[in-house]
């Protein structure tokens, strides 16, 4: 290697000046040919000496190589200080070596001489040779320490380009730099490159997740979990991916993932439940179909999935299968009391449908037991529905007395916990009074319905309803915003023939915005009452309009058959008998076979149409259900 030092160049320059000075002293500053020849001879002589020096220098590469070998040996022995001496000697022996120049910079860095290391690295970078990722990275680190962020960024990028972004340590160091300068956009890109190299290390994964969430990149979050799952096989990442898809309403993609699940694990279960819940918001049929496929075809079976499947089967009247799966849930989800309790509630409801009142009560008692005695309100309602009124009232009298006697502990009455307890106590007081009133109304209806013309029964039913009205008044006075209580109170008043009070309440209820009530049910009840009373044309039209509105509010395009009966009666009152019959024929539920009001309507409509055989059959059915019904007496007197 030819290396001309600054000292040598200075020597030549000085020599030429001195020679020129000598010549000028002879001839007033003008050089003669002899002077020029003399200068040339002197310069050539000096160049010869420089060439010899360069040759001597090139011979020092051997010394550099020897020191290089010794330095490595010392490092292997752990003799760091001695190794540094040999590295220094090697660099001095071959000052044009890019590698050795950077090695000196590295040593300076390790000794804490960052400023000198930066100067050395800058000099080394100017030497010939292809820059390596480690050399460029060293410059980046030194510029970081020197507080020169733009230069640091430049050399980090150059180093990463050189390594083709495969240097994991360099990527990580660059990410730390980006965190320091708060360049979130670039940091997100770097984490995306780094994560696969560290197998989606949890701490780094969480940093990237936070960055994406902070930037509102929901789709990128989903992709992150997808990549993480593909790399690690971690089902929890797949679960979070499905959560993201569901949150973004990308249900087709979520379903594609759920379709692949075949294991009965908690993560698989959670993904299925997530998708089921999302589908159910728009189509219960779709949710039910998906759940059946996973359970029956893909054999993903857990007590929780059995629970949801049982509830859907109950909803869709597949009662035998529902009972089977709800029993699995009730018996195996004991540690999850809410689900087990609700499974027993559904089993109790199915038992009532099958007219197995003893089984219904047994399941309700199991529900209360699983709930550690906190399901007394539901249990009391079950007793009432099963006709065990005395048992229901005894229980309710007892629990109401307990809650009415409750008082907060002295000295801490104003504490936050006591205030929460007061709220809970008041809720319980209201709940049990409401349940008591509802059971009184159920009993009143049963007493009256056994013979609607029996004066003694009418009197007893009225007494029960008046007691219920007392509870409702107390509840409504304490909380005028409880629309649910107002609805029950209005219905009870209507049954007591206190129509004006009932109608005033219905009007008030319908004006309450966002009330947590079944608005369609209220409209139908109020509307039917106006139709049935038929006091004047205006009320009749108003009642029909309300029933029509209720029918339009029915979900899934399936009108309630009770609402259809109301609409048919409206047609009858308007003299549209053919229309009335057409609507009545839409009612298919076997439940109406034992509904005397249904047969009362059918008989009247057939009679109005002159269909004698059908009229006679309808009145026969009505007579069987209500032998003393005024319409029956009137018909058979003809």
Contact 347, 338 (CB under 8 A): no
pLDDT at 590 (0 to 100): 87
Q: What would the 3-class secondary structure string for 161-224 be? A: HHCCCCCHHHHHHHHHHHHHHCCHHHHHHHHHHHHHHHCCCHHHHHHHHHHHHHCCCHHHHHHH
Q: Exposed/middle/buried for 555, CB within 10 Å: 0-12, 13-18, 19+?
A: exposed
User: What digits encode the pLDDT tens for the residues 386-416?
Assistant: 999 999 999 999 999 999 998 876 665 556 7
Cα 337–Cα 343–Cα 346 angle in degrees, nearest 5: 140
Number of Cβ within 10 Å of residue 479's Cβ equals 12
Beta strands in 293-450 (DSSP E): none
pLDDT at 620 (0 to 100): 95
Of 121, 111, 64, 112, nearest to 88 by C-alpha is 64
The SS3 assignment for 354 reads coil
Cα–Cα distance, 202 to 208 (Å, whole number): 10
What is the pTM assigned to this prediction? 0.70
User: What digits encode the pLDDT tens for the residues 177-199?
Assistant: 998 999 999 999 998 888 888 88
pLDDT at 40 (0 to 100): 64
| φ/ψ (deg, to 5) at 386 | -80, 0
| φ/ψ (deg, to 5) at 473 | -65, -45
Cα 81–Cα 84–Cα 88 angle in degrees, nearest 5: 145
Cα–Cα distance, 82 to 387 (Å, whole number): 100
pLDDT at 408 (0 to 100): 74
- Is 50 a residue whose pLDDT tops 70? no
Contact 172, 190 (CB under 8 A): no
Exposure b/e, 567-588, CB count within 10 A at least 16 = b: bbbbbbbbeebebbbebbeebe
- Is 2 a residue whose pLDDT tops 50? no
pLDDT at 499 (0 to 100): 97
What Cα–Cα distance (Å) separates residue 31 from each residue in 10, 11, 43, 46, 347? 22, 21, 16, 20, 124
Cα–Cα distance, 399 to 413 (Å, whole number): 23
Q: What contacts 549, CB < 8 A, 6 or more positions away?
A: 520, 523, 527
Banded pLDDT at 546 (limits 50, 70, 90)? very high
What is residue 282's DSSP assignment? T
Q: For the residues 202-208, what does the mean pLDDT come to?
A: 88
User: What digits encode the pLDDT tens for the residues 490-542?
Assistant: 999 999 999 999 999 999 999 998 888 999 999 999 999 999 999 999 999 99
Contact 360, 394 (CB under 8 A): no
Q: Exposed/middle/buried for 46, CB within 10 Å: 0-12, 13-18, 19+?
A: middle
Q: 605 versus 31: which is more confidently predicted?
A: 605
Residue whose token pair is 């205006």: 538
User: What digits encode the pLDDT tens for the residues 473-485?
Assistant: 999 999 888 999 9
Cα–Cα distance, 277 to 291 (Å, whole number): 10
- Range among 45-54, 86-95, 553-562 rated most confident: 86-95
Residue whose token pair is 């029933």: 547
What percent of the chain has pLDDT above 90? Answer: 66
CB-facing half-sphere around the CA of 480: CA atoms within 13 A: 3
Contact 174, 165 (CB under 8 A): no
pLDDT at 413 (0 to 100): 55
524 alpha carbon, distance to own chain's centre: 37
Q: What contacts 478, CB < 8 A, 6 or more positions away?
A: 430
Counts of helices then strands in the chain (DSSP H, E): 33, 0
- Is 9 a residue whose pLDDT tops 50? no
Cα–Cα distance, 267 to 263 (Å, whole number): 9
Q: For the residues 567-584, what does the mean pLDDT come to?
A: 97
pLDDT at 22 (0 to 100): 43
Looking at every residue in the chain, the average pLDDT score rounds to 88
- Residue length, the chain? 638
pLDDT at 320 (0 to 100): 96
Cα–Cα distance, 284 to 307 (Å, whole number): 16
- Is 625 a residue whose pLDDT tops 90? yes
Number of Cβ within 10 Å of residue 500's Cβ equals 8
Cα–Cα distance, 55 to 44 (Å, whole number): 16
């Amino acid at each position: 290697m030819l290396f001309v030092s600054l000292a040598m160049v200075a020597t030549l320059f000085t020599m030429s000046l001195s020679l020129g000075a000598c010549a000028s002293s002879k001839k007033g500053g003008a050089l003669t040919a002899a002077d020029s020849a003399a200068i040339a001879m002197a310069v050539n002589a000096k160049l010869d000496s420089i060439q010899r020096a360069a040759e001597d220098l090139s011979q020092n590469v051997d010394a550099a190589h020897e020191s290089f070998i010794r330095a490595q040996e010392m490092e292997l022995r752990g003799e760091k200080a001695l190794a540094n001496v040999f590295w220094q000697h090697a660099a001095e022996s071959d000052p044009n070596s890019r590698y050795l120049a950077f090695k000196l910079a590295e040593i300076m860095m390790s000794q804490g001489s960052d400023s000198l290391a930066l100067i050395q690295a800058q000099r080394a970078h100017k030497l010939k040779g292809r820059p390596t990722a480690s050399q460029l990275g060293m410059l980046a680190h030194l510029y970081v320490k020197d507080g020169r962020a733009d230069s640091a960024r430049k050399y980090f990028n150059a180093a990463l380009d050189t390594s083709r972004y495969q240097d994991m340590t360099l990527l990580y160091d660059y990410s730390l730099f980006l965190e320091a300068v708060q360049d979130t956009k670039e940091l997100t890109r770097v984490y995306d490159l780094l994560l696969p190299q560290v197998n989606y290390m949890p701490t780094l994964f969480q940093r990237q997740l936070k960055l994406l969430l902070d930037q509102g990149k929901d789709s990128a979050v989903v992709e992150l979990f997808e990549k993480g799952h593909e790399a690690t096989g971690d089902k929890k990442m797949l679960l979070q991916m499905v959560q993201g898809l569901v949150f973004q309403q990308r249900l087709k993609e979520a379903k594609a993932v759920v379709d692949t699940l075949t294991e009965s694990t908690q993560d698989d279960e959670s993904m299925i439940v997530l998708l089921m819940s999302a589908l159910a918001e728009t189509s219960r049929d779709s949710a039910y179909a998906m759940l059946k496929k996973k359970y029956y075809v893909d054999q993903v079976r857990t007590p929780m999935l059995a629970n949801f499947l049982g509830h859907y089967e109950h909803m869709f009247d597949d009662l035998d299968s529902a009972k089977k799966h709800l029993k699995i849930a009730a018996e195996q989800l004991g540690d999850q009391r809410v689900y087990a309790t609700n499974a027993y509630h559904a089993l109790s409801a199915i038992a009532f449908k099958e007219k197995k009142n003893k089984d219904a009560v047994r399941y309700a008692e199991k529900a209360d037991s699983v709930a550690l005695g906190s399901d007394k309100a539901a249990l009391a309602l079950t007793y009432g529905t099963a006709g065990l009124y005395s048992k229901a009232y005894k229980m309710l009298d007892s629990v109401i007395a307990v809650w009415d006697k409750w008082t907060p502990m002295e000295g801490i009455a104003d504490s936050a916990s006591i205030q929460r307890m007061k709220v809970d106590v008041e809720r319980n007081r209201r709940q049990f009074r409401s349940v008591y009133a509802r059971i009184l109304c159920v009993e009143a209806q049963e007493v009256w319905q056994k013979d609607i013309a029996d004066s003694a029964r009418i009197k007893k039913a009225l007494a029960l309803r008046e007691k219920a009205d007392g509870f409702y008044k107390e509840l409504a006075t304490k909380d005028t915003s409880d629309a649910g209580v107002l609805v029950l109170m209005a219905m009870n008043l209507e049954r007591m023939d206190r129509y004006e009070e009932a109608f005033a309440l219905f009007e008030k209820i319908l004006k309450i915005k966002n009330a947590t009530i079944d608005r369609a049910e209220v409209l139908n009840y109020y509307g039917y009452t106006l139709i049935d009373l038929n006091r004047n044309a205006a009320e009749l039209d108003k009642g029909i309009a309300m029933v029509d509105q209720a029918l339009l509010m029915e979900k899934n395009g399936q009108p309630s058959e009770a609402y259809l009966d109301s609409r048919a009666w409206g047609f009858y009152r308007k003299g549209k008998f053919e229309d009335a019959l057409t609507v009545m024929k839409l009612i298919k539920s076997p439940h109406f076979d034992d509904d005397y009001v249904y047969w009362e309507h059918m008989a009247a409509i057939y009679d109005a149409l002159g269909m004698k055989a059908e009229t006679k059959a309808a009145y026969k059915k009505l007579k069987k259900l209500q032998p003393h019904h005024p319409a029956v007496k009137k018909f058979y007197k003809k």
